[in-house]
Amino acid sequence: MRKTQTILLSVFVSLIFLVSGALGQTPKYIILFIGDGMGANHRILAEKVSEVKGLGKLEMNHLPVRGEAKTNCLDQEGRATETTDSAAAATALACGVKTGRGMLGMKQNHTPGDNFTDDAQKAGWKVGIITTDWLNGATPGGFYAHTKSRHMYDEILKQAAKSDVDFFAGRGFKGKDVDKILREGGYNVVKGKIDSANPPKMPCANLEMGSMADTLQAALAMLENPKGFFIMLESSHIDGHSHGNFFAGAINETISMNDAVRVALDFQKKHPNDTLIITTADHECGGLTIVDKNLDPRGLLKVKNPRDVEKIIVNDVVAFKPSDEELITNIKDAIELEDISQKDQKILIDLYRKKKIKGDDGLVREVVRLMNEQAGITWTSGGHTSDPVPTTAVGVGSEAFKGKYENTHIADAIRGFIQQSVKK
């Protein structure tokens, strides 16, 4: 069945390319947004928070073409496994092949994957890689490096310096002698926010970038050219916050990514016959779940960082050795809980009496659960999940991202557009 679906999808994509080429509508400007750990509910809840803050809807949720990507990778025996990591996911998104966890730009047999950014460079396109984290981390590394392990930071840095990527922007690179290695590779190393009106010479490595939106604006100004460009922008901290079940952090990062999508949409309006914008994720993280479909979005603003909850409970509640009654009252006041059922009160009091405060089965964890549930949400995991991730797209060729598919399809479709641009 899967083989049949793959064949049908390949035929569909081929038809898209043929029709687009015939109409002269092959994109030459492609911008791919990756929300690391961003699942469907991250996007839904981020929009609710954005609206209640007066920031409006998330444009990336309302692009005209919508699809769904499966994120599974391979186990050590080469069999499909449900939960991926960012390295295997980046390899799928950049090379169009499934591989094992931790492998970067590498096939399961330890041979390099065929990265479509190489195709873009051969076609004369410029390439930009932007992330809010380390530039030799898993997601950005997947678009230019080939290593057996995502943790080979020194080797990935060296490959970055030799990659011919035109524009790097992020937190920097992990490793020693970073500036020296990049400069020896011909890179202009820039620290701080780039002025779009007066951009530096390329190739450029911006190692202390501004916001995602500002950095994308600079990248567009620097990379726009008659032949074309490909830009990958990763919002990396959605994943980190979701690992810790930090709702506000994950949601604010999602909203920030949408700010950059707005910049891309402004560019697309100026180049409607040449631009393709795609938003997706490498995987879902945290199992973020909407418990109450009729939740009050204002309650989402009260959800605190679990680390802050722990500090409050330890320092402002438990430290004063309250009575059972005082414990419940103080927790309600400190965490801004509207009510605590008799059943939950008994659970909290029992944990307090047993001095089980921290840990997965402690008082703090129960308070965090109540805080999330009263806001209408919950987390089912502290790690990655196998949930498929939404993909939305707009612009020339965007129909190729409609429907359900493996995440490798995204790489295959982009590669097809690049190759089609050469034939025009």
Q: What is the pLDDT of residues 212-248, one digit of tens each?
A: 999 999 999 999 999 999 999 999 999 999 999 999 9
Which residues in 31-56 are b (16+ Cβ under 10 Å) and which e? bbbbbbbbbbbbbebbbbbbeeeeee
Closest to 143 measured CA to CA, from 80, 109, 95: 95
pLDDT digits (tens, 9 = 90+) for 20-45: 543 458 999 999 999 999 999 999 99
Q: Which residue has the higher pLDDT, 23 or 165?
A: 165
pLDDT above 60: residue 3: no
Confidence of residue 111 (pLDDT cuts 50, 70, 90): very high
Q: Which amino acid is at 225?
A: N
Judge whether residue 259 has pLDDT over 70.
Answer: yes
**Beta-carbon contacts of residue 419 (< 8 Å; ≥ 6 apart):** 119, 123
Q: What whole-number distance in Å separates Cα of residue 166 and Cα of residue 87?
A: 22
β-pairing verdict for 188-190 and 204-206? parallel
pLDDT of residue 5: 45
Note the pLDDT tens digit of each residue in 355-395. Answer: 999 998 999 999 999 999 999 999 999 999 999 999 999 99
Average pLDDT, the chain: 94
Looking at residue 409, what is its pLDDT? 98
As a whole number of angstroms, the distance between CA 241 and CA 254 comes to: 11
Q: Residue 19: which pLDDT band, with cuts at 50, 70 and 90? A: very low
Q: Which whole number is the average pLDDT over 275-297?
A: 97
pTM: 0.93
Helices 324-335 and 342-353: angle between axes, nearest 10 degrees: 110
CA distance 210 to 194: 8
Per-residue model confidence (pLDDT) at position 16 = 52
Among 5-19, 59-73, 342-356, 379-393, the range scoring the smallest mean pLDDT is: 5-19
pLDDT-derived band at 142 (thresholds 50, 70, 90) equals: very high
Distance CA 294, CA 74 (A): 38
pLDDT at 178 over 60: yes
Q: Residues 59-85: what's their mean pLDDT? A: 94
- Residue 196 pLDDT: 87
Distance CA 129, CA 140 (A): 6
Identify the H or E element spanning 66. Answer: strand 65-70
Whether the pLDDT of residue 9 is over 70: the answer is no
The H or E element that residue 395 is part of is: strand 389-395
Tokens 């009654």 locate to: 325
pLDDT at residue 368, rounded to an integer: 97
Spatial separation of the C-alpha atoms in residues 292 and 372, rounded to whole Å: 11
- Mean pLDDT confidence for 314-326: 97
> Which CATH code, of 3.40.50.1000, 3.90.1150.10, 3.40.30.10, 3.40.720.10, is assigned to 2-291+388-423?
3.40.720.10
Three-state secondary structure call for residue 228: coil
Name which of 245, 206, 236 is nearest 34 in CA terms.
Answer: 236
- Token reading at 23: 């109409």
Give 18's pLDDT tier (boundaries 50, 70, 90).
very low
| pLDDT at 2 (0 to 100) | 42
Cα–Cα distance for residue pair 23/133, rounded to 1 Å:
39
Residues 53, 251: Cα–Cα separation, whole Å: 12
The residue type at 61: N
Q: What is the pLDDT of residue 21?
A: 44
Q: How many CB atoms lie within 10 A of CB 109?
A: 7
Look at residues 32, 396, 352, 384 and name the one whose alpha carbon lies nearest to residue 243: 384
Q: At what angle do helices 324-335 and 363-375 cross, to 10 degrees?
A: 50
| pLDDT exceeds cutoff 90 at 97 | yes
Average pLDDT over residues 46-71: 98
Beta bridge partners of 129: 168, 232
Contacts of 107 (CB under 8 A, 6+ apart): 95, 97, 99, 113
Q: Residue 156's pLDDT is what? A: 98
Question: Token digits for 271?
Answer: 């180049």
pLDDT value, residue 23: 46
Closest to 254 measured CA to CA, from 35, 34, 32, 33:
35
pLDDT tens digit string along 118-139? 999 999 999 999 999 999 999 9
The answer to whether 136 touches 155, Cβ cutoff 8 Å, is no
